[in-house]
Structure 1
Amino acid sequence: MLHYNKNSLQAIIMTGLFTALIYLGIFIFRIPIPALVGRPFIHFGNTLAILAVLFLGLRNGALAGVIGLGGFDILNGYALTSWLTMLEITVVAVVVSLLLKAFDYNDSKQNIIIIAIIAGTLKIGTSYCTSIIEALMVGTTFKTAIVASFFSLPATVINSISTAICVPLLYFLLKQIFSSIRRRHN
């Protein structure tokens, strides 16, 4: 985690930066995947949201994720279900934060890999539940919603695998960059 007051100007700027990166990580790179429920696509928004939590902490990281992912949904044709996206990223942010705390904020490679794998796996579960709710919102029966949501998971699984791989890689790269910037300014 970056060490500064969560209400400081630096924290606000970093939260805004991560918010923009999350939004752009979806807007610039998204590959639609056919599905029975919803309109899923492959993107890097979840990866960047998890990085935001790791670097900024629960409050500011979750805020960046909620605004970045939720904002994308609202502005790009997913407004009716944006609240589900915001709820999903909040759940993932809380779990990532709790895991980091359980590891006593030790960001060893092993711990970050474990966090990334758990976050990716959790995202599969939250997306499955979200898909069921989306299917129910359009009038599908519960049994049909469960089955259709299961067959709509390929994009989520791909996103989750990329999260498990990309979070550790990007975390340590960004950590080096942030450390280098701090050394120059001290």
Structure 2
Amino acid sequence: MKKQILDLQTLTMISLFAALIFLSIQFFKIPVGAQFIHFGNALVVVGCLIFGSKLGFLAAAIGLGIFDLLNGYAAEIPIILLEALAVAVVIHFLYEGLFQRKDRLRNILVTAVAAALVKIVLNILKYTLVGTLFGESSLPAAFLLAVAKITGTFGSSLATVIAVPILYPIFQQVRKAHKQRRTVKSRDESTISINKETV
């Protein structure tokens, strides 16, 4: 397994991606009942695919955390981060492990579906537990209420399944182009250094 090194340029790209996650939720959302549909979850998956599950989770934690802090959801941050961590873990074992990071459409689509299902299951579990422990509802009633409550999660999960196979190749090309520019720049600097030493 390749060791991930956090140099300045990598940190910059992760910060930019975190900002993109924040902006996608802050300004591109569709209200659905108490929740809303957004593309933040899709970008979390794309970030994990591009940067790896660890750095992708870091970008997700920053982007999601900033959104929650600025929008009155500070109390939800630990739960949101746990959900993002669960998604990153699934991507780690599925895409990085089972699929060995092979960029086939089937692999990307299966990973997106798995991430979406994890998000749905965790939200249902969260609201079912809340309804059972604090709402004094029976388990079946709390479960049905939880399913009815997460219409926004269903919408965002569908958006994830659709958007990830479209967005990932685009961001992957941007990432590759950035790496190529870094390689060319490094070679040019090495050539200049050699020429100076020769002179």
Scaled to the shorter chain, the TM-score interval is 0.7 to 0.9
**CA RMSD after TM alignment:** 2.0
Q: d(CA) in 1 for partners of 2:59 and 2:111?
A: 19
Q: Unmatched 5+ residue regions in structure 1?
A: none
Deviates more, 1:6-15 or 1:175-184: 175-184
Q: Give the letter aligned to residue 84 of structure 1.
A: I
Q: Which residue of 1 aligns with 2:12?
A: 13
Deviates more, 1:57-66 or 1:19-28: 57-66
Q: Give the letter aligned to residue 51 of structure 1.
A: V
- CA deviation vs aligned residue, 1:91-134 (integer Å, no higher than 9, x gap): 01110111112111212121111111111121111121232345
Q: Percent identity?
A: 35
CA contact (8 A) 1:42 1:156 kept: yes
1:63 partnered with 2:58:
yes
Q: TM-score, normalised by structure 2?
A: 0.82
**What SS is found at the alignment partner of 1:151?**
helix
1:128 partnered with 2:124:
yes
Q: TM-score, normalised by structure 1?
A: 0.87
Q: d(CA) in 2 for partners of 1:184 and 1:70?
A: 31
CA contact (8 A) 1:51 1:167 kept: yes
Decide which structure has the larger Cα Rg and report it. 2
CA contact (8 A) 1:123 1:160 kept: yes
Structure with greater proportional helix content:
2
CA contact (8 A) 1:6 1:12 kept: no
1:147-186 correspondence runs (5 A): 147-185=144-182, 186=184
1:87-126 correspondence runs (5 A): 87-100=82-95, 101-126=97-122
**Alpha carbons of structure 1 residues 11 and 104: separation in structure 2 relative to 1, 3 Å:** same
